[in-house]
Amino acid sequence: MQYKLLKLIGFISIIGLTSCEKIDLRGAFFSYQTVNERFEESMEWNEENPFKEIKTTNEAYSFFVMADSHIGGIENFQTFTKNAISSKALALVMVGDITTGRIKDYETLSQNIPHEDSITSFLMVGNHDIYFDGWKEFYKRFGSSTYYFWVKTPKAKDLFICLDSGSGTLGDKQLQWLKDLLQEKRNLYRHCIVFTHVNFFRTRHTGSTNPVVDELQTLMDLFYTYNVNFVIMGHDHIKSIENLEKTTYITLDAILDGFSQASYLKLSIDDFVENEFVNL
Amino acid sequence: MYLRSLNNIVFLIFFIPIYINAQIDVRLQADIGKNNLSLHAFSNAAVMTSFYFTKNTFSIGSQLTISDNPLPAFYINYTRNIEIYKQKFDLKAFYTFDMFSEKLYEINRGLLAGYILPHFTFKIGTNFRTYRIFTNSDSTINENFNFMYLVTYYINSPASNWNVGITLTNFDFFLINQETNPMFNIETFYTITPHLKVLFEAWYISSGALNLSVNPFGFYFRTACVCNINY
């Protein structure tokens, strides 16, 4: 009887651990890479590819920001990029879970991402992007997931930081990098906006998780101390906005096809930063 | 300032049990560990006092981070033991305050119900979390109805003077994680005398497991002693 029970448990485990279409159950127990390993690769890539400066002659500019496209489906993603280009946005930012992690979905993304000449795109991984060993595909095609860039207008410079929270934690090395960056450079810029996939606050009950409370406390203190204006996140699929005085935490809707609440965020940046959700 | 106030409160509270014939437990503990928040180890020290009077328990505890800038946390709670059809339950109302930075703090309040069996302890409850700034600001961030849980298995019965327990939970004395971030611990204790018990615990925390992208977050080791005083 005990042997039959063990066989049943083993069978269920094999079925469970075998990858199904959208989720990679192995990730609940073993990761393909740790966040520190991905961070070190990102830093290697950054050394060979300097951080970007985007110059604009306009005092005001806009970014189009989205999360959770889970390509696969490509229709909403194409609408997002088309709208950004036609609106003459300065750049696109994709805050994780851009794909399902599978090679064919990364191929679809590569075929549909606008050319650099049309608009600059900034990508970072979410948890889904690293399923099925997807980090290798992301890194091969897009490089680093931990970096910063800035926008230079005639009268100001604004700092934008992209973080890898695909594993639900920044890891000690990435966190130290972020602390050093804010300490050394924050005061050189007018606005500072951080993009990271996994959302911080549980405004509703959901099976997906957030960074542990200790890490949230450290990050909240860091962002408050260094006047980070916005922290823009995805992961939860349902938008929410929280304010802690100087810092506004925005969680985006998912943009995936078939989602009734799909939207993206338009950031209009001048002396102030305004945000507007655009429904699809 | 916080330490002085807390010391005054603890000093006063110790005199109350003399008049009501209460039992007192004093627990001293120290943690040392490593997590993703720093390239170095961290350590905490805590003192906790519980007063038992018939079926009531009143507890207060305080913790300090051991660092160049020590930051305090404290809790206060009330527990009522009840028996239903000879089964032992307890109901706890708690309040915690965690000053996690010089500018920001977190408070939690909630309810926790426990069911105690010889080899198992089960606890479920809920908490309401608020993040706030010390300055006069109305901006707060709230998380409501977070689910709290604890399951412990002990290899020996309570009558034994030593035991080993394995726990899955999302909370500790001064920390309540989200319901989707469980922690694991192994605890051992040994009762040296009826009035003195020593404990050792090993905790492990991972992140991202329920996102199916698990990554180690940290671990810590705890040593503690519990001294029981009967008036």
Chain A residues whose beta carbon lies within 8 Å of the beta carbon of residue B215? 31, 34-35, 167-169, 171
Q: What is the pTM of this model?
A: 0.91
- Total residues found in chain B within this entry: 231
pLDDT digits (tens, 9 = 90+) for A68-94: 999 989 999 999 999 999 999 999 999
> What pLDDT score was predicted for residue B59?
96
Distance of CA B92 to the CA centre of its chain: 12
Distance CA A179, CA A172 (A): 10
Q: Which string of DSSP letters, residue by residue, matches A69-138?
A: --BT--HHHHHHHHHHHHTT-SEEEEES--B-S-HHHHHHHHHHSPPTTT-EEEEE--TGGGGGGHHHHH
Given pLDDT bands bounded at 50, 70 and 90, which one contains residue B1?
low
* Contact by Cβ (8 Å): B44, B222: no
Q: Which of A204, A278, A280, A261 is nearest to A236 (CA)?
A: A204
User: How confident is the model over B132-137, as a mean pLDDT?
Assistant: 83
- Determine whether the interchain pair A176/B39 forms a contact, defined as Cβ–Cβ distance below 8 Å: yes
Q: DSSP label at A2?
A: H
Which of A214, A224, A235, A243 would best serve as a mutation to test chain B binding (most B beta carbons within 10 A)? A214
- Total residues found in chain A within this entry: 280
Q: Which of B81, B63, B80 is nearest to B72 (CA)?
A: B63
Which residue matches tokens 């802690």?
A244
Chain A residues whose beta carbon lies within 8 Å of the beta carbon of residue B216? 34
Q: Is residue B33 packed enough to be buried (19+ CB in 10 Å), middle (13-18) or exposed (0-12)?
A: middle
Q: Is B104 on the interface with A (CB under 8 A)?
A: yes
pLDDT digits (tens, 9 = 90+) for A170-223: 999 999 999 999 999 999 999 999 999 999 999 888 888 999 999 999 999 999
Backbone angles phi, psi at B118, to 5 degrees: -55, -40
- Determine whether the interchain pair A209/B178 forms a contact, defined as Cβ–Cβ distance below 8 Å: yes
Question: Distance from A25 to chain B by nearest Cα, in Å?
Answer: 6
Residue B76, helix vs strand vs coil: strand
> What pLDDT score was predicted for residue A116?
92
Q: Which string of DSSP letters, residue by residue, matches B154-167?
A: ESS-TTSSEEEEEE
* Contact by Cβ (8 Å): B126, B145: yes
Question: Distance from B124 to chain A by nearest Cα, in Å?
Answer: 16
Mind listing the pLDDT tens digit of every residue in chain A (280 residues)?
555 655 655 555 554 444 456 678 888 888 999 999 999 999 999 999 999 999 999 999 999 999 999 998 999 999 999 999 999 999 999 999 999 999 999 999 999 999 999 999 999 999 999 999 999 999 999 999 999 999 999 999 999 999 999 999 999 999 999 999 999 999 999 999 999 999 999 988 888 899 999 999 999 999 999 999 999 999 999 999 999 988 999 999 999 999 999 999 999 999 999 999 999 9
Ramachandran assignment for A30, one of left (phi > 0), alpha (psi -120 to 50 degrees), beta (any other): beta
Distance CA B138, CA B132 (A): 8
- Determine whether the interchain pair A242/B141 forms a contact, defined as Cβ–Cβ distance below 8 Å: yes
> What pLDDT score was predicted for residue B15?
61
ipTM: 0.90
Q: Is B212 on the interface with A (CB under 8 A)?
A: yes
> What pLDDT score was predicted for residue A28?
86
**Torsion over CA: A208, A212, A217, A222 (sign):** negative
Question: Distance from A217 to chain B by nearest Cα, in Å?
Answer: 7
Report which secondary-structure segment, H or E, holds B77. strand B72-84
Could you tell me which residues come within 8 angstroms of residue A118 by beta carbon, excluding any fewer than 6 positions away? Answer: A85
Tokens, residue A121: 């795109």
pLDDT digits (tens, 9 = 90+) for B17-75: 555 667 899 999 999 999 999 889 999 999 999 999 989 999 999 999 998 788 999 99
Q: Which of A127, A94, A97, A119 is nearest to A25 (CA)?
A: A127
pLDDT at B4 over 80: no
> What pLDDT score was predicted for residue A18?
47
